[in-house]
Structure 1
């Protein structure tokens, strides 16, 4: 028998205005201009420029409307400290109109499509080539099998083709720049690059092609003696020079920016400068667009208060005006709260890592997690995460993403906690100084770190080594 029952639960839901604030908070400075432009286009009640007078806002707020407290964005829900003494907007004053650089680049797909246009292909071949280029991943590889691409062509383009025809066009694309593009695996990628040197009869090129073609597995495992035996090489110098040539090839041709990026700038969200030992934090002026509620729309709402409220069409018009005025006010409030939250969060990070920001010495970085900053500014960890994951700061010693300053703590023999970044830096130095003919294993690295006072397990050594893209000892060995 089916049973019926009542349950009571308490749920907290975000208002549309709170959601808008969260979305604005997580976008970086470089994208804020675009977001503001979109809002200006969508909402005629929102205008660019400084607010002319507070009277308009007051009159608008006092109008007899159906504004609900549930729809208002409560600043206190997000901020506990509105004191911004000692902080300023970067760009205020004479330099306010100074242009900031904007990132512009040509994508890999666009670069390859440009080259496809130079081939003398009919419409059918061009469509197949376009499908192949669309299947190339960001690192430059095609990992989908050709049978799947053939099926895509049949379903989406109504083209019935076969492996031979697709491979023929694929080989044409593999001749494009950058070298090694559109390979299906690393072996093919390296061979494609070596094929560009087909006219080069240098012994190094010839041996390199033989190694990749016939001894690829032995090459990846650094079994050089087996390679020499398999290729019947007696002179060790041949294989040394060939291996050195292979190492200079690009294993990720799609990741190469050479010839693809036209202009590339990183726009920092914060500017931190050291003025004779005093740290001065500034928020990039792009984070403070000048926006205001339209005076004409506000006046329209005021005129309604004195008109015949029984007119149905007039009511509908006023409802539209009210909606747009609400949206404009909420957007301006959300932008202001974004500025406040960014500064509160960055100020807490600067205070927490004060010694590091004085000199830029990586060893001065303290262990710091999101919860540390969230506790300082009395905000949720998720809010701090949204700021840290997408923002950067310009310092006297470089531009850094905020997440660079967050790291876990490692205990030392003295009982102090040090940043995992400091341990990684020490680990890197040990590996760089090792005898490359007898590289250190993770066990030995663990012992060396413990001898320096870092209490760290072998599996943690392996984790840090992998995070720094440093291979295991066997693969670091040189002849």
Structure 2
């Protein structure tokens, strides 16, 4: 009689596997997806019911109570929406505001106007003094550079705002624009020649280039021209005086309870289908509660680790990895990964995916932490000092960076080189001049 035992053991393993798989899937779901999943089970499984007095399917469909749920939704603004809101908060004159609407109609995917400002003004039939007022407002937009005519003008505005102490940076931009140079293809010798033409020390030029590479030539690329689907932030960080409160929303998820009475009627009939259905109902309720408890733990830990972000903004995000949070909240790292997946939080700075709190963290050879900005600066220095006839490959850069104390892989170096608009070795290589 060994065969039945093996069959039973296989069946138990399969049941465990299916239940575990369902639980893991629930951890990864966003709130709206989880609600839809719960509704489908409510329709098919007789052993799980929706507790009375909670938001349920009928509430979701009714015109009165669905408004409550819609209030939880946050639409990620399109680029035109983002511009509209900023201009309307600037207390502009009626003429300037009308001209602003016209400018917005010409914005492209990079955040620039698709035609020259002069042409927009000519088409608007508005007085020119409205443009003077509007231009001042345009240069106050966030991020700086939106509605510029070109990427060069965008960079110039950003340089004036962020690096007022660096007049050389503006000169560099002017020369490069006139020469129509591609920043990614500038070699070491090109920079040497540029330093000579500007009559400055090469070391000073390198410092200005380090500032230049921090500017964003395409400020509109983080937005879309069309509004995106609404999202439902589950975690809200709400400032309360000097402290920050954490609110975890689960309003979209109905409160559930097991129908034990019905199960008692069926459990003695030996029908495996009913046993599986009841196990599914138990697993659903248990998994949702575990998801909620884990999300609260992670939200609290993120507040501690990224407190400066909540006070000052995205520039204050610190290097952090999933293992740090997992160790602190006593969860497996895969659980933390699933919890932060497809979840958003809302704070004074806007709505963000929870994954934003886990930027790449670099390790030095001695085990201490290094920020991504340290790596950027190191790459800039190495490329700036290379021989233009024999530029470094990504593998060579990796070796040199490791000698400087960075514990990095070649693919990481390639990624950051691209982010800095530095061309690959073949494109940086200059042919030696014949004698």
Report the TM-score when normalising by structure 2.
0.45
Larger radius of gyration: 1
TM-score by length of 1: 0.41
* Higher fraction of helix: 2
